[in-house]
Chain A
């Protein structure tokens, strides 16, 4: 159903240190706060944190899955609220939800948000897609 107010099915992604390393390599963002626990703690973080843009990329995957492909996405925005903390040897969740806030012909606007360990990490997020 593509009517205003429809809630999309929630989806859970799992992040671990290997995924952070892989994202660092494909994005070029080798900031040690995303890989080195000692460094992260030395700069006042609770532990290694995920790249904000990895979080956003996964929310983007949620959007493209709904839209039926990356080429359907016209706009995508959001705010990084809190870091996604990724302790060693653990898989942490990124739980993404969304709903339809506007429909104009074949153009749909989604409102999105994501939590990790129950904490809101990504919000004030919208995507405009063609479907």
Chain B
């Protein structure tokens, strides 16, 4: 079970992540997207998922990552990600509820380039009971 004290807490990623053109090219290639000047709308998940996994694996938070399935996903894109962006991630556990023995955790992750918000994402993770 998730530690209820975790709800509302914001965790900051340890370091900046620099996006490379080759990462954008590779992501586009899987989708047969020819325009590689900006990252596709869901590209940021490769940064936020890793960061939120790291946060949620913290034993103090108490989430059993092996039983997690992805429920919902939302992106608010202030501007597209481009090569050489240095992005810093912060994640907040926005809400938590238990329903029918399953846990529902909503994690908001913000990516900033310097002081500019680039993208906000919300992931609902379902921990199967």
Tell me if chain B binds chain A: yes
Instruction: Identify the A interface with B (CB < 8 A).
Output: 19, 22-23, 25-29, 52-54, 56-58, 60-61, 63-64, 69-71, 73-80, 124, 127
Q: Are A71 and B38 interface neighbours, CB within 8 A?
A: yes
Q: In the complex, which residue of chain B has the Cβ closest to the Cβ of A19? A: B30
Q: Inside 8 A of A58's CB, which chain B residues have their CB?
A: 31
Q: Are B42 and A60 interface neighbours, CB within 8 A?
A: yes
Q: Are A80 and B49 interface neighbours, CB within 8 A?
A: no
Q: Inside 8 A of A71's CB, which chain B residues have their CB?
A: 37-38, 79-80
**A-side interface mostly:** helix
Of the A-B pairs whose beta carbons lie under 8 Å apart in the complex, a sample of 14, sorted by A's number, is A25-B26, A28-B46, A28-B50, A53-B70, A60-B41, A61-B32, A71-B80, A73-B41, A75-B75, A76-B41, A77-B73, A77-B122, A80-B69, A124-B72
Q: Are A53 and B75 interface neighbours, CB within 8 A?
A: no
Q: In the complex, which residue of chain B has the Cβ closest to the Cβ of A69? A: B35
Whether B39 is near chain A, meaning CB under 8 Å from some CB there, is yes
Given contacts A53-B73, A71-B80, A75-B75, contact A63 B41 (CB under 8 A): yes
Most-contacted residue by chain B among A19, A70, A74 (CB, 10 A): A70
Given contacts A28-B49, A77-B72, contact A53 B42 (CB under 8 A): yes
Q: Are B42 and A57 interface neighbours, CB within 8 A?
A: yes
Q: Are B40 and A29 interface neighbours, CB within 8 A?
A: no
Q: In the complex, which residue of chain B has the Cβ closest to the Cβ of A80? A: B70
Q: Are B77 and A73 interface neighbours, CB within 8 A?
A: yes
